[in-house]
């Protein structure tokens, strides 16, 4: 690791101090966590939580309760996000799969091997490999960091992870980064949630807000920007700028 950069454990500690203890998802049950992923598409965390609470209080979160619900009841829930009809269908599809393929209970399959558990979870709508690992993290079954796009971007900007040629390769490389944390679900859950919150609020995709950021003093992105600026500061007044150099690219903004 480059000199002057924060370790992941140091970054998590500073984020905890800045944001306070993060709020976990509202359930540790695998089926409810699948619903949590599908309940409100592209909604803010507070709207997603609202949608989940509404589902729980008006329909219920068991597969049978969802299969028994009318389309209007499910759409009232999924309207907290966009594409309410599609996502009401997805909730129904989740319930159908849970009953047909897993006898209505996913707790047994997630107690199996990691690969079998991921395969089972990935058979549900909207759940790819990162989603499956995130569900296993929040059921407490696996100590995986499972960063989603916001968290991944923070790790890359901090210089803890190299951006690869594809999202899936960068995600896979993040597993090695996570090895520096204690391999306990609680430790990984907190790191996952804090990185997510940081990427969503300060370390945004298009314009990171580095000035108020608690990680700025040990961040690779900031170091690159500073080094770029010091090499390209305007010449003192009255002095020639010298021959025109070939323009240099600004540090790349990491995609989310
Ligand atoms: S200093 Fe800037 S780039 Fe680095 S983590 Fe903070 S917001 Fe992101």
Q: What is the pLDDT at residue 238? A: 45
Domain count, the chain: 2
Pick the residue whose CA is nearest to atom 2 on ligand 1.
Answer: 210
In this structure, what CATH number is given to the domain that contains residue 40? 1.10.340.30
Q: What is the pLDDT at residue 236? A: 56
In a domain, 239, yes or no: no
Number of residues that make up the chain: 256
Q: Write the CA distances from 247 to 54, 93, 118, 241, 243, integer angstroms.
A: 55, 54, 47, 14, 12
Residue finishing a domain among 103, 122, 138: 138
Distance in angstroms (rounded) separating the CA atoms of residues 133 and 146: 6
What atom of ligand 1 comes closest to residue 210's alpha carbon?
A: 2
Residues of the chain with pLDDT under 70: 1, 234-256
Q: What is the pLDDT at residue 135? A: 98
Residue finishing a domain among 81, 115, 138: 138
- Confidence (pTM): 0.88
Q: Are residues 154 and 49 part of one domain?
A: no
Looking up tokens 């002057």, which residue turns up? 4
Q: Which two tokens stand for residue 169?
A: 């390769």
Segments forming the whole domain that contains residue 17: 1-23+143-232+248-256
In a domain, 240, yes or no: no
Residues with beta carbon inside 6 Å of ligand 1?
154, 157-158, 202-203, 208-210, 213, 215-216, 219, 221-222
Pick the residue whose CA is nearest to atom 1 on ligand 1.
Answer: 216
Q: Which two tokens stand for residue 216?
A: 């700025």
In this structure, what CATH number is given to the domain that contains residue 196? 1.10.1670.10
Distance in angstroms (rounded) separating the CA atoms of residues 73 and 183: 41
Q: Are residues 148 and 62 part of one domain?
A: no
Q: What is the pLDDT at residue 239? A: 45
């Amino acid at each position: 690791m480059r000199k002057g950069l924060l370790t992941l454990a140091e970054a998590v500690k500073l984020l905890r101090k800045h944001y306070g203890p993060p709020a976990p998802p509202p359930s540790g049950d695998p089926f409810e966590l699948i619903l949590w992923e599908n309940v409100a598409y592209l909604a803010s965390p507070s709207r997603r939580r609202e949608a989940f609470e509404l589902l729980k209080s008006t329909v219920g979160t068991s597969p049978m309760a969802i299969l028994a619900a009318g389309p209007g009841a499910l759409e009232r829930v999924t309207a907290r996000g966009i594409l309410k009809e599609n996502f009401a269908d997805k909730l129904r599809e989740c319930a159908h799969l849970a009953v047909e393929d897993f006898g209505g209970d996913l707790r047994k399959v997630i107690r199996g091997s990691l690969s079998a558990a991921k395969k089972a979870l990935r058979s549900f709508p909207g759940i790819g490999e990162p989603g499956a690992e995130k569900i296993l993290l929040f059921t407490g079954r696996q100590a995986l960091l499972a960063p989603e796009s916001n968290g991944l971007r923070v790790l890359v900007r901090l210089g803890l992870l190299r951006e690869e040629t594809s999202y899936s390769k960068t995600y896979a490389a993040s597993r090695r980064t996570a090895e520096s944390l204690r391999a306990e679900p609680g430790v990984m859950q907190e790191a996952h949630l804090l990185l997510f919150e940081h990427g969503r609020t300060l370390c945004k995709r298009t314009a990171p807000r580095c000035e108020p950021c608690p990680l700025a003093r040990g961040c690779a992105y900031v170091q690159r920007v500073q080094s770029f600026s010091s090499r390209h500061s305007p010449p003192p007044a009255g002095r020639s700028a010298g021959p025109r150099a070939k323009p240099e690219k600004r540090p790349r903004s990491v995609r989310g």
